[in-house]
Structure 1
Amino acid sequence: MSHSHNHSHNHNDLKGRNLLISILLNILITVSQVIGGLVSGSLALLSDALHNFSDVLSLVVSYVANKLSKKQASIHRTFGYKRAEILAAFINAATLMIVAVLLIIEAIKRFQNPQEIESNLVIWLSVLGILANGLSVLLLKRDSKTNMNMKSAYLHLLTDMMASVAVLIGGLLMKFYQVYWVDSVLTFAIALYLIYMGYDLLKTSTKVLMLFTPDSIPLKQIVEEINAFEAIKNVHHVHVWQLNEEEIHLEAHIDFNKNITLTEFDVVLRKVEDYVYDKYDINHVNIQPEFGKIDNKDIIVQD
């Protein structure tokens, strides 16, 4: 028996459509900011354009992963492409960190040699960035709460919008006060914010890819609770991992007090499945029954 949550095809199609709209909006922003940054001489605008270009790539990765995740399993891919979106989240978080480091290096160089900047162009293009990224953020906000891939795309766009706000403030300061060094300072601040936002997602997606036990699963407590079931003598050789956003798997060896029949085992298995699903949202359970077998009885056994 296994429990699962299935999203409708309509909802998946809506996610794909929202991603596609966000990709087109970010292409428009990137092209505009590259031209504007070169004309105005603004490093903050060029750095925001670089960030937007990385967003275009990350959104494309997210879009492709969203499409792949719908493909059916096969003989050669028994899990299908269910982890495509987790892999996309990892790639997007990593690129977010890399872009941030590049921006810090450029900001330090420009701070040592500030240049006069055409602030009017910076102001208008930053307003364009705020409006376009704001719309993209609204499109992806709902799915970002339940899907790691969509969260990675959402974070890219949210940091873009915040960066555009910072660039707008910098443009206003440069226009009215001729404080051109603020361009480098804002670039540095944007980069630090990218690192802050990207680190948690990178850590979370890495844990999933490495098959670590989800933070929400108290493994020892679960083992103790299953051990208390009638007919069960010992639970050992336990693995718990998260396959994707919707599936948490548990497999274990269970020693029984007596040599029960398969029918009796099915009754116990159903109780275990219902228990871990209702209490811990574990929706895929695989149990190996044993009686009198001499093997390692530790909870965790290195395969």
Structure 2
Amino acid sequence: MAHDHHHHHSHNGDQNLSVSIVLNIGITVAQIVGGIISGSLSLMSDALHNFSDVISLFLSLAAHRLAKRKANAASTFGYKRAELLAAFINAATLIIVAFYLIYEAVLRFSDPVAIGTGLVIWLSLLGILFNGFSALLLRKDAQKSINMKSAYLHLFTDMMASIAVLAGGLLMKYFQWFWVDSVITFGIAVYLIIMGFGLLKSSTKMLLLFTPENLKIESIAEAVHQVTGENRLYHIHLWHLNDNVLHFEAHLDCRSDMSISAFNELVSKIEEVLFHDFQISHCTIQPEFEKACPKDFIIEE
């Protein structure tokens, strides 16, 4: 038995991602050229992060489009989980880039070099402007989708990194503190790890079909048993299809040999409880009568 409530993607999602991709390609090229000319590691690290943004935004755009494809005989769930995969890859790249930046910053710190600060200041301002605008474009969509959130996090952290680079550029220009370049690079990297880890953890749990952290199987069963009476749920599974859609399946141990029409009526009541109390939009209930098997909530298969 299924109960579906559809969730709509933002129509502007594709357009906003496309604009952000164009802006980030522009920043990346400018910062790579500027980093080479000025000798600034923090500017090059910002460019590297921007390049990872371009890749992650392309990935998010592809996943966003794939997720809207309809299910068919070959892919009965459609491509809804593509956005989870994109979020996982984006979070992983944030962390990989961060560790590379830490390695580079440690090397540079022991041997600081003079840096052309004018370019650093102007290009970091460009980064703040473009990344800030891109992050603003995706902010609304980020609240509805883990994939869009991963793209938004890339852009937001890059805006913060550009602010840090600007501060470093000003300190180097007026105080000749060239070691600040390495310290800021290190700080950017630590910030990326912190931001990326939470996203990596949540997307991994969804991909591994973990029970959502905000829901407890026991609480759901207790609520359902209020309407099923002596008919008890067991062998329960609850998982994210994507970050917006929850699926639930369970066996119902029926104490009487009820008719199909009576069972349908009971399942309708279960569906209402699951949707209104727990936001579970799709459920499958398997009826069983006098079947000899373990009746635990969770049964290893």
Which residue of the partner structure matches residue 258 of structure 1? 256
Q: Measure, in 2, the Cα distance between the counterparts of 1:6 and 1:198.
A: 26
- 1:221-265 Cα offsets, whole Å, 9 max, x none, are 111222333454321100000101221011000111200000000
SS of 2:227's equivalent? coil
Superposition RMSD on alpha carbons, in Å?
A: 1.0
Q: Measure, in 2, the Cα distance between the counterparts of 1:66 and 1:224.
A: 36
CA contact (8 A) 1:37 1:45 kept: yes
Following TM superposition, by how much is the alpha carbon of 1:157 offset from its aligned partner in structure 2, in angstroms? 0.2
In the TM superposition, 1:120-159 aligns within 5 A as 120-159=118-157
In the TM superposition, 1:131-280 aligns within 5 A as 131-280=129-278
CA contact (8 A) 1:32 1:125 kept: yes
Q: Measure, in 2, the Cα distance between the counterparts of 1:147 and 1:280.
A: 18
Q: Measure, in 1, the Cα distance between the counterparts of 2:5 and 2:189.
A: 40
CA contact (8 A) 2:35 2:44 kept: yes
Unaligned 5+ segments in structure 2 are none
Q: Measure, in 2, the Cα distance between the counterparts of 1:161 and 1:99.
A: 16
Name the aligned partner's letter for residue 239 of structure 1: H
CA contact (8 A) 2:3 2:271 kept: yes
Following TM superposition, by how much is the alpha carbon of 1:22 offset from its aligned partner in structure 2, in angstroms? 0.2
Moved runs in structure 1, 4+ residues, more than 3 A?
A: none
Name the aligned partner's letter for residue 220 of structure 1: E
Which residue of the partner structure matches residue 6 of structure 1? 7
**Structure 2 residue 41 is the aligned partner of structure 1 residue 43:** yes
**Structure 2 residue 282 is the aligned partner of structure 1 residue 284:** yes
Q: Measure, in 2, the Cα distance between the counterparts of 1:71 and 1:189.
A: 41
CA distance 1:195–1:300, shift in 2 (3 Å): same
Name the aligned partner's letter for residue 216 of structure 1: N
Name the aligned partner's letter for residue 57 of structure 2: L
Question: Comparing 218-227 with 87-96, which one deviates more in the overlay?
Answer: 218-227
- 1:169-212 Cα offsets, whole Å, 9 max, x none, are 00000000000000000000000000010000000000000000
Name the aligned partner's letter for residue 290 of structure 1: E
Name the aligned partner's letter for residue 240 of structure 1: L
Which residue of the partner structure matches residue 98 of structure 1? 96
Question: Comparing 54-63 with 221-230, which one deviates more in the overlay?
Answer: 221-230
Give the alignment's TM-score, normalised by structure 1: 0.97
- 1:43-67 Cα offsets, whole Å, 9 max, x none, are 0000000000000000000010011
Q: Measure, in 2, the Cα distance between the counterparts of 1:5 and 1:82.
A: 12
Question: Comparing 226-235 with 86-95, which one deviates more in the overlay?
Answer: 226-235
Identity %: 53
Name the aligned partner's letter for residue 24 of structure 1: V
CA contact (8 A) 1:231 1:256 kept: no
SS of 2:213's equivalent? coil
SS of 2:16's equivalent? helix
Question: Comparing 210-219 with 184-193, which one deviates more in the overlay?
Answer: 210-219
Name the aligned partner's letter for residue 163 of structure 1: A
CA contact (8 A) 2:223 2:273 kept: no
Following TM superposition, by how much is the alpha carbon of 1:85 offset from its aligned partner in structure 2, in angstroms? 0.6
Name the aligned partner's letter for residue 196 of structure 2: G
Name the aligned partner's letter for residue 249 of structure 2: E
Give the alignment's TM-score, normalised by structure 2: 0.98
Q: Measure, in 1, the Cα distance between the counterparts of 2:224 and 2:253.
A: 11
